Amino acid sequence: MDNIIVTITNAQTTFSFDIEAPVWISVERFKSDLYDALMVYQPDLPLRYWTEFDLICSRSGKRLDNNETIENSGIWNGDYLIIVDK
């Protein structure tokens, strides 16, 4: 599988949306791309740059490492990723 679809939300679950991502990109790159999407779909979020948040997989409870790929992070198709402050 080259791409997966994950649901992005925040701890307060005030929003959620699905996003498709290639499994081979780094979490760092994914967060950068996600930030760009968030600024379009959720412009009221108090984020100034993608380095201000981390992602946690709700299924595993794991905080994603920026240096790993999506695949190596153990993220599965359909997982929920929660945006949390650093």
Query: Which phi and psi angles does 19 have, rounded to 5°?
Result: -140, 140
14-70 pLDDT, tens digit per residue, is 888 899 999 999 999 999 999 888 888 877 777 666 678 899 999 999 999 999 999
Domain boundaries, the chain: 3-85
**Residue 18 is encoded by which pair of tokens?**
């699905």
Six-digit token pair at 34? Answer: 């996600």
Residue burial 36-59, b: 16+ Cβ < 10 Å; e: rest: eebeeeeeebebeebeebbbbbee
| Long-range contacts of residues 38-41, Cβ cutoff 8 Å, at least 24 apart | 38/8, 41/15, 41/17
- Its pTM stands at 0.89
Write down the pLDDT at residue 42.
77
Report the first-to-last Cα separation within the chain, whole angstroms.
30
Pick the CATH number of 3-85 from 3.90.550.10, 3.40.50.10800, 3.10.20.90, 3.90.1150.10: 3.10.20.90
